[in-house]
Amino acid sequence: MPESINLAEKLAMFSEHWSPKIVGSFNGHDLLVVKLKGEFVWHSHPDTDDFFHVLKGRLKIEMRDGDVELWPGEIYVVPKGVEHRPVAEEEVELLLIEPAGTPNTGDPETAAKKTAI
């Protein structure tokens, strides 16, 4: 019988920040959970949009043309090619959906290794 994915249980399995974990997939996309705290690097994704869904905490996504602030239950999609930087003053928990293999920094050389949990 198929099993559901409990995001809270998956997030409880790790404590490190900025290290996305694959919890499922569909249509060539990874479903990931991640914990953030602090500032990430400025980056862009030239070939794909960047989907953020805040599960817990408050996330600011800085962009050169203005910032977006997200609260639990809110989503935002950074359009492909737009330079951005996620910032979390306190710990934030997110659900990300992205094409499989998308590097979180936009550059495979500097991206975090994604593991399935």
Is this model's pTM higher than 0.85 or not?
A: yes
With 0-12 / 13-18 / 19 or more C-beta atoms within 10 angstroms meaning exposed / middle / buried, residue 68 is: middle
- Residue 99 CA from chain centroid, whole number: 12
Evaluate if residue 84 carries a pLDDT over 90.
yes
**Contact predicate 11/55, CB 8 Å:** yes
In order of start, what are the domains of the chain with their CATH numbers?
Answer: 7-116 (2.60.120.10)
**Band of the pLDDT at 115, cuts 50, 70, 90?**
confident
Please report the pLDDT score of residue 109 as a whole number: 77
Q: What is the pLDDT averaged over residues 31-52?
A: 94
